[in-house]
Chain A
C-alpha cells in the first residue's frame, strides 16, 4: 500500500496569495500539522516572480507591470525571474527526513523533476532533467524549478509551460542591454518551448494537472488524495500574504 500524501488544487490566485500558500504549507508541514503535500495552481492576474536573491529593480520593469496589470513578487526560493501566465505551477512540501527525499540538494531536484518528467510522458512528451533546475524537451526549456529548505522541510516549486509569449515577457523584464534586446528575445524563443508548441494544440490546465499527479505518484510511490488547506494554513496564508509577499519592503529587499 503506497503512502498517502495530500493533493491541493488551489485554482488561480494572485502572486501574493500563491506564494503565501506555499510558505503556509511549508510551516504547517514542518510542525507536523499536515502530510506531505503536492499542490497545483495558476496565476490570476499574470505575474512575475523573482528569485530570493535577485534585485527587483534590476530584473523587473515595475512600471510596465503596473501598466499591463501584471503582479510582481519575490519568492522565498532562489533562482531566476519567471513570467507566470499560461502555465501549470506545482509545489511539493515534504520533510527533509522523508526516505524518498535525498539529503543532497541536487539529487532532490533530480527526484522532483523526475515526477514532472513522468507526468510529461503521460502527455506523450519525452523530456529530460537539465541541471541545475530545468527540464528540457529536445534541448528547449519547458520547466523551471526552485527549492528551499527551512525547518527541516523541503519546498520545491516550479512551472510547466502550457504556452509562452516571449515578446510579452520581455516587455515586463529588464534586459542588461537594450541594444541587444531583439537578439536576446530571438535567443530565448529558440531556447524555450511549451506543451502547446510541442503537441500543436492547447492542453488544458486540468489535463496537465492530472498527468502531473500521476507523475508524482509514480516517482515517489505515493497516492495523492485531494484535500484542502487547513484552518491554520489559511490563517498563515493571510498572515504571510500581508506581512511578506504583498509587503513593499520584502519585494524591494534587493
Chain B
C-alpha cells in the first residue's frame, strides 16, 4: 500500500531537530507508514516504535494526532526530552505541506 512519500524537518521549540518520513494516503490523508527520526531523547526508546505503529491509519490532523499520541504516551509511560507531543504532531502535519 504505497501512497504519497513525504518528509519534514522541524525544529521543536526549545527542543531538538525532528525529521519525519511519512507515507500517506492522499485520498483520505491517512498515515500508511511513519518514521520518526531526530536527535531527541525518549524513554523508553521503544516507545517511539510503539507510537509509529499506533499512528498507522490515523488521519493527518494536528488535533487528532495530538489526542492519539497523548493516549499512547500515557498508556506506555513514554517520556520525551527535546521533543513533545505538540511538536511531534506539528512535524507530521508539515509533511503534508512540503
B38 / chain A contacts, CB cutoff of 8 Å: 51, 53-54
Which of A55, A147, A176, A254 is in CB contact (< 8 Å) with B41?
Answer: A147
Q: Residues of A with Cβ closer than 8 Å to B?
A: 51-55, 58, 76-81, 105-106, 132-133, 146-150, 176, 254
Q: Complex formed: what's the CA distance from A149 to B36 in Å?
A: 20
Least CB distance, A172 to chain B, in whole angstroms: 16
Which of B37, B44, B79 is in CB contact (< 8 Å) with A54?
Answer: B37
Closest to B15 in A: A132
Closest to B21 in A: A55
Q: Complex formed: what's the CA distance from A106 to B15 in Å?
A: 13
A79 touches B41 (CB 8 A): yes
B44 touches A53 (CB 8 A): no
A132 touches B37 (CB 8 A): no
Interface pairs A-B: 4 shortest CB-CB: A80-B39, A78-B41, A55-B37, A51-B39
A176 / chain B contacts, CB cutoff of 8 Å: 9
| Chain B interface residue number, banded | 10 to 19
A-facing mask of B57-93, CB < 8 A → 1, else 0? 0000000000000000000000101100000000000
Least CB distance, B46 to chain A, in whole angstroms: 10
Q: Is the interface of A mostly helix, strand, loop or mixed?
A: loop
Q: Residues of B with Cβ closer than 8 Å to A?
A: 9, 16, 19, 21, 35-45, 48, 79, 81-82
B36 / chain A contacts, CB cutoff of 8 Å: 53
A76 touches B39 (CB 8 A): no
Q: Complex formed: what's the CA distance from A55 to B36 in Å?
A: 9
Given contacts A78-B40, A105-B79, A106-B81, contact A55 B45 (CB under 8 A): no
Which of B35, B79, B82 is in CB contact (< 8 Å) with A254?
Answer: B35
Closest to A254 in B: B37
Q: Is the interface of B mostly helix, strand, loop or mixed?
A: strand
Closest to A104 in B: B79
A-B contact pairs, 14 of them (CB 8 A): A51-B40, A54-B38, A54-B39, A55-B35, A55-B37, A76-B45, A78-B40, A78-B81, A78-B82, A105-B41, A105-B43, A147-B41, A148-B45, A176-B9
Least CB distance, A180 to chain B, in whole angstroms: 13
B82 / chain A contacts, CB cutoff of 8 Å: 78, 132
Least CB distance, A53 to chain B, in whole angstroms: 5
Q: Complex formed: what's the CA distance from A80 to B41 in Å?
A: 9
A79 touches B39 (CB 8 A): yes
B81 touches A132 (CB 8 A): yes
Least CB distance, A152 to chain B, in whole angstroms: 12
A53 touches B39 (CB 8 A): yes
A78 touches B37 (CB 8 A): no
Q: Complex formed: what's the CA distance from A176 to B21 in Å?
A: 14
Identify which of A52, A58, A78 gathers the most chain B CB atoms within 10 Å of its CB: A78
Closest to A109 in B: B81
Least CB distance, B16 to chain A, in whole angstroms: 8
A78 touches B42 (CB 8 A): yes
B19 touches A58 (CB 8 A): yes
Given contacts A55-B19, A105-B79, contact A150 B44 (CB under 8 A): yes
Least CB distance, A120 to chain B, in whole angstroms: 23
